[in-house]
Amino acid sequence: MRAVVSALALAAVTSCSTTPPPQPTVARLAELHSLVDSGEELPRPRLPPDADTNSAAAYYHSAEPLVRFGSKLDTAEMALYWASRLDPAWPDPIYGRGMVLLRALQHDAFETWIKTRSVKAARHVGLTPRQVQLVDSLMRIAWARNPFLYTGLEFPQLDPSRRGDPVQGASLAYATRQFARAESLFAVALRKHPEDVGVRIDRARALFFLGRYDSTVAELEAARDSVRGRAEARTSAVMISGEMFEYAVGIVRVQQDDFPAARAAFERALTANLGFYWAHARLAGAALTLGDTGTALSELDMAVQLEGRDPVLRLYDGVVLAGAGRLDEAAGQLERAIALDPHYATPYYWLATVSRARGRTREAIDQYRQFLAHAARLDADRHRALGALAELGASLPDSGH
């Protein structure tokens, strides 16, 4: 977290340079982003011959080593783009796309230093304002999907001059999944610098993975209180916002099956920012678990009004509407999810289920087949879709995509 926020801040500063040095990696990514902004799809990078081209994981794992080592970052961007299209509910590829830009910044700055031996020139390498905005947007979307996501892409930069620094040691331990050691070292650092919000967030993440949920909440609340009222909390594009702290607390309470506390946390997040659409969606989930279907549906409706372009949100709304027996509305939301991302398999399955419940057998058969054409080989719903087709008397597709 600290590394990402620091890199974002650096990118935001250096992007203001009026005469930046040549930066071919950043420029190549800018070309790809322009394609996406214009509504085009990126080319699919080649996978190994036996790979599942419907699998988000296949694309993600092909990109992972490229991002980690800063190699072929344009290929990594294309792979992560396709992973995020095939499974937009999975935060890791979205987060990874943000990391690609930060790796590109590091790569071009280093290459500039190699060519010029000028630290000043290297510091003037930067992302464009659009790219800074994109990194921030991607990170926020990923954190909204899961504020405790763990990837192998965010790893510490070792500095020999900081040998013995507990924060560096903790970051390295966290990156290698030694969460108990990481938590302990972050605690040591906090005793010296209790005001360090980044360390508190990182310690909360380590505590979360240790299953120490009450302690996780305590650290998140302390971090929230540390930034409350600070000027930078209101002006910095890369500062974790107050509503995200409350949102993360809600996620922890869900993990504890304490849905009343989760509901209260999501409500606090919305008090801080009524436009935080995923807090509305999570509040809907907590309300639904507590048997309050009316609140769940109204919160989802609000979320969709705030952000209608998220296919995952449309899918969630459709599934909840279907469960409430509002099948026509459910079908509309699921159709919209498919229109937003026709590569996303799951909405086809649920739309087929809804069509079947509405007595529209032909449509259901076509939609089950569409699902099977788009679903990964290991998709948990494949066997259910095949069973549904058999029950409807439809011919079964072959075992390939």
Which tens digit of pLDDT belongs to each residue from 344-387? 999 999 999 999 999 999 999 999 999 999 999 999 999 999 99
Instruction: Please identify which residue in the block is written with the tokens 């309050």.
Output: 292
CA–CA–CA angle 215, 217, 219 (5° rounding) = 70
Give me the amino acid identity at 130. Answer: R
Instruction: Please identify which residue in the block is written with the tokens 């659409």.
Output: 277
pLDDT of 72 over the 60 cut: yes
309 in helix, strand or coil?
Answer: coil
Residue with more model confidence, 303 or 238:
303
**Residue % of the chain over a pLDDT of 70:** 90
pLDDT of 84 over the 60 cut: yes
Task: Give the pTM.
Answer: 0.90
* Backbone CA torsion sign across 12, 15, 18, 20: positive
Burial class of residue 114 in the structure, from the number of CB atoms within 10 Å of its CB (0-12 exposed, 13-18 middle, 19+ buried): exposed
User: For residues 13 and 132, what is the distance between their CA atoms, to the nearest angstrom?
Assistant: 10
Joined tokens for residue 183: 């938590």
The angle, 0 to 180 degrees and rounded to 10, between the axes of the packed helices 2-14 and 166-175 is 110
pLDDT score at 400: 54
Nearest to 240 by CA among 295, 202, 187: 202
The angle, 0 to 180 degrees and rounded to 10, between the axes of the packed helices 166-175 and 179-192 is 160
pLDDT of 157 over the 50 cut: yes
Average pLDDT, the chain: 90
**Residue % of the chain over a pLDDT of 90:** 81
Nearest to 13 by CA among 124, 97, 99, 109: 124
Residue pair 244/286 in contact (Cβ under 8 Å)? The answer is: no
308-401: CATH number:
1.25.40.10
> What's the whole-number mean pLDDT along residues 219-247?
72
Fold agreement (2-147, 308-401): yes
Nearest to 156 by CA among 44, 30, 7, 272: 7
What are the residue ranges spanned by the domains of the chain? 2-147, 308-401
For every residue of 318-331, DSSP letters joined together read HHHHHHTT-HHHHH
Q: Which fold has domain 2-147?
A: 1.25.40
